Structure 1
Amino acid sequence: MTTTLITGANKSLGLETARRLIDAGHTVYAGMRELANGADARALGAIPVQLDVTDEASVHAALTSLPELDVLVNNAGILGTSFGVDDLTPDAMQEVLDINVLGIVRVTQAALPLLRLSDNPVIVNVASGVGWPRFLSTEGHDEFPVPAIPYAASKAAVIALTVQYAKNLPTFRINVSDPGYTSTDFNHHSGHQTVTEGTDATVMLALVGADGPTGEFHNRHGRIEY
């Protein structure tokens, strides 16, 4: 049995990822800040676990409560409160980076002892095409009109840290996914993809074997070339 932890798994992309991996035979622990929000995850058969990615004590408690771990999906993230230059402040930037980037580092570092015991340790970091400069700067891409600085910068950092983790842990399969423009609370459900389509890349990367890719960036159509 494959044991998986997903952060931010009480709704939206995280919840759909949990559903699909449970269907694939995984035992899924659904990380969430408030266990009171775990009804939907429980209904799927996931095991809710209190996990606030900004809180070292919460992260440590969550990871030490797991009996084993094979797959970590770092899905938790926020859009933030700054959407241009005039409303940008260091505090607004820090809030987004603390959850979207440092949150991944906190959880991953805490998970490494368990993952190292797995025969096939896998990490998937959920980023966004908004963190990809080529998409941000090319008219016609969904990402081009996005003005937000903190969110884009955080997701660019997630892509880079994924590559570096993969280089440092060559026996792991560590990749980063782009959900694409998916209908979620983030965009007031304006996205043109369903949450199932938005989890295609994450689920595929969570299911890779020991001979699968590592250090790569994928969307639902395949690898995004550097």
Structure 2
Amino acid sequence: MAEELELIPVPTRILTDKDDIIEAIEHYTEGKIGPDDLVCSAESVVAITQGRYVRPEDLEISCLAQLCCRFIPDYGSLASPHGMQSLMNVEGKWRVAFALFAGFVGKIFGQSGLFYKWGGEQTAMIDDVTGTMPPFDKCIVYGPGDPYGMAQKMKDKLGCFGAMIADVNDLKRSRVVGVSSGVKGELAAKLLIDNPFGNASQKTPICIIKNYRQYQEKNS
């Protein structure tokens, strides 16, 4: 009889750039992971352990960033001058400005998503202040570096069927950031749509999807 699919959020202490994300996952999931399981981590936690964050007060805000952020919806991480400046610092100010203009023109002609397509990989990954767990809710957090390579290292170290780094929020958005070989990321991402991650007081940035291998084989 096939084993039942189950999502298990894993509580941790606050993880920082002093931690190794794989060692932390190994510690907090000890005895909980089987060979058929998928281990998932919130992207912001992976990025924080890599030191990929910046404090707003350390940014020098340009006039271009102040202008461009006005064209982002209020709920977006790039809607603040600090969020926009942090993106420009890593992707280039003119690239971001051009992508924003292209996105505006594209929408006129019924084509969406050009800003995120041409603005660089960090365009969709940056979390502005309040976007992640304390005390890093006072910081702007970038997306993790080498997320696919990191997911593969997680799988190899933990001995599970697969590993995934995901960007999930309470607005029913679940996006694959990095995934190990053999895992169908989009299929797995749908299982996280109700956001089992708790990046605030819950402190559950890790989630184990038990018996995922059988689920993937059944739905392939």
Give yes or no for TM over 0.5. no
Larger radius of gyration: 2
Q: TM-score range by the shorter chain?
A: under 0.3
